[in-house]
Amino acid sequence: MTREEAYKEIEEVSGLVPTFLKLPPDNTLELEWKLMKAVQFDEGPIPNKYRELIGLGIAATSKCRYCTLFHTEIAKLRGATGQEIEDAVHYAKSSAGWSAYLNGMQIPYEEFKKEIEQAAAFVRAKMAKQEAA
């Protein structure tokens, strides 16, 4: 795929060729565009709206304002509501906060793993009881 062909395809998808997609060199532009389409736009096992909400949570946690804007806007295009966007960001904040706390307090990983597995087994058994009833 030539640069011109890639630009034509990009413009068909977004109405323009964003500056950031003009930056990759000729020998990687096609690969970058194909990867972006596959990951960001093509349908996959996780519906696109939810993939964008995941992307937004990652972007918010990594504090990338470019990615935060990108994923917020694409999530909206995919039907995400303001409440869903806030929930994804709040979830990311909570997860990042607990990660910082657990790592900072140096909780023994094997102990943590054992407790999580124990809690998951308890919940599974409880769910199985409810399904059987």
Quick: pLDDT tens for 46-55: 999 999 999 9
CATH number at residue 57: 1.20.1290.10
Quick check: is 115 in a domain?
no
Parts of the chain with a pLDDT under 70: none
Asked whether residue 60 is domain-assigned, the answer is yes
User: 62-89, pLDDT tens digit by residue?
Assistant: 999 999 999 999 999 999 999 999 999 9
User: Which structural domain range is residue 41 located in?
Assistant: 3-107
Examine residue 48 and state whether it is found in any structural domain, yes or no: yes
Number of domains observed in the structure of the chain: 1
8-state DSSP, 125: H
Residue 113 lies in a domain: no
Residue 52 within a domain:
yes
pTM of the model: 0.85
Report CA-CA distances (Å) from 15 to 7, 12, 22, 58, 85.
10, 6, 14, 26, 25
